[in-house]
Structure 1
Amino acid sequence: MNSQSPIGLFDSGLGGLSIWKELHALLPNEQTIYLADNKNAPYGEKSKDEIISFSIKNTEYLITKGCKIIVVACNTATTNAIKILRENYDVPFIGIEPAIKPAALQSKTHKIGVLATKGTLSSELFISTSNQFRDSKDFVEVVGTGLVQLIEEGRINETEELLRNYLAPMIKADVDNIVLGCSHYPFLIPIIKKIIPEHINIIDSGIAVAKQTKNILEQNGLLLAQPKITENYFYTNANLLLLTQFLTQNEVKTNKVFFEEF
């Protein structure tokens, strides 16, 4: 493992590509390997043991590919499994969790909306993080049932009715920040903006994750020192055509896409 080795990312499916885009924008010369576990998506409705099992499998696959750092580009996998991954594998891990702290610090109405999966909202990490602010802030937590499935099936335009239902209690409660607690949800931001008042701020973790990845690479002497021509590899274990179409629609141009069992 050295600076020439790739950065690995995994998610239950396509959502982590929102993290990949921010990472690639910040570190365009780094080679990446993205793992989409579409076969088992969504993780948010799985048990904790299943999520841990999937996360271990994904991690070991990326380690066999020689990855120098692994980004757990999935809120549910981070909040349920990253502690175990860090305890068992000798590679740096970057997690993604709902951006509760920045939302709490920015909020003027002291009311914060959180749109996330059931697996994230019920996790120990989310509960402990949000509990730090519950004395001074009210949280309106909503499970985004069905959203991940629609995104995974390439039916983003069909999410508006669900989003209106999920966002309604947040708007009614006068939240001024909405935290997107699933890496799939940033792809819904254009639709969300149509529904919520202009003064409500939408917070996702993509840029922060990219910056933290860069910081950890620097600290470990693993940041690529010299620019080079790199290729980015994307793997799926379910639907190669959908992944290819999704990459094209989101203007991810420098890629090699593969179907592989893992």
Structure 2
Amino acid sequence: MKTTAPIGIFDSGVGGTSIWKEIHKLLPYEHTIYLADSANAPYGNRTESEIVALSRKNTEVLLAMGCKIIVVACNTATTNAIDTLRASYDVPIIGIEPAIKPAALQTTTKSIGILATRGTLSSSLFHKTSETFTKDISVVEIIGEGLVPLIEEGALNSLEMRQLLKKYTAPMLAANIDYLVLGCSHYPYIIPLLQELLPASVTIIDSGEAVARHTKKMLETTKALSEVRKTPALQFYTNADTQTLKSLLNKYSHKISIEKLKF
């Protein structure tokens, strides 16, 4: 595999662009191809076999485009399909999991909140991680029902979004959490609203930086890191409307391409 081959990233929709931003910030010369499978979003309410099938489809599209590494920028796809993907394809595959460990190690109130999709919270990988790090800690798990569709529509500051977040954070506040773990790559886009609704004593954690560092380390380990210092190709494909992608990536509009693609 050539070192100049692109990094492939996929998500159930536009949310994984929060991961792409961290990867691009850390690896600014790497070519990237991002797939937003918005036509099938949200993955969180699908069965495990559906999630595995969609994850395989996305991976194969990216491999056909010549990607040297695949980043599964979707918590639900990672927790349900990562083992199958790694067993099926011979390129490195990076996943994304809720950052339970740092929250559990740093909490002083011994109470943390996790906001995630049904598909992530019900997965065996999530339970395994949670059990490992939260033995003496109170964990308030909330399914963020309805959040992904609103983010996909670009309704980040809508009244409906505000009402849902108030409802979902209420039991967390009642439990005196001091860390809120975001267990979906869409959710970093609602951090400003969460910060408005939560006291300053609550730290919000997402996995973006950790995934970017892991991707860099894997490329170094496999000697696949690009040594070319030129402006990279940054390609985005969605199988739904391009408008939300354009809006979320507005500040990068001068250097990226966004296209609708059937996949």
Structure 1-normalised TM-score? 0.97
Picking from 205, 209, 212, the partner of 2:211 is 209
Matched-pair contact (CA < 8 Å) for 1:235–1:259: yes
Paired residue for 1:197, among 196, 199, 202?
Answer: 199
Query: Could you tell me which amino acid in structure 2 is paired with residue 179 of structure 1?
Result: V
Q: Which residue of 1 aligns with 2:71?
A: 71
**Does 1:83 pair with 2:83?**
yes
Q: Answer yes or no: is the 8 Å Cα contact 2:14–2:244 preserved in 1.
A: no
Aligned length: 261
Indicate the residue corresponding to 1:153 in structure 2: 153
Contact 1:97–1:181 (8 Å) recurs in 2: yes
Q: Distance in 2 between matches of 1:242 and 1:49?
A: 28
Partner AA of 1:143 in structure 2? I
Unpaired runs of 5+ residues, structure 2, are: none
1:118-173: CA deviation from partner (whole Å, max 9, x where unpaired): 00000000001101134211100000011000000011112111101101111110
Q: Which runs of 5+ in 1 are unaligned?
A: none
Aligned to 1:257: 258
Query: For residue 25 of structure 1, what is the aligned residue in structure 2?
Result: 25
Identity %: 55
Partner of residue 221 from structure 2, selected from 219, 222, 241? 219
Q: How does 1:152-171 map to 2 (within 5 A)?
A: 152-158=152-158, 159-171=161-173
Give the alignment of 1:8-157 within 5 angstroms: 8-157=8-157
C-alpha separation between the residues in 2 aligned to 1:155 and 1:133?
34
- 2:135 and 2:100 map into 1 onto residues whose CA distance is 14
Code of the aligned partner of 2:3: S
Moved over 4 A (4+): none
What is the CA RMSD across the aligned residues, in angstroms? Answer: 1.0
Secondary structure in structure 2 of the residue aligned to 1:156: coil
SS at match of 1:108: coil
The answer to whether the 8 A contact 1:76-1:182 is kept is: yes
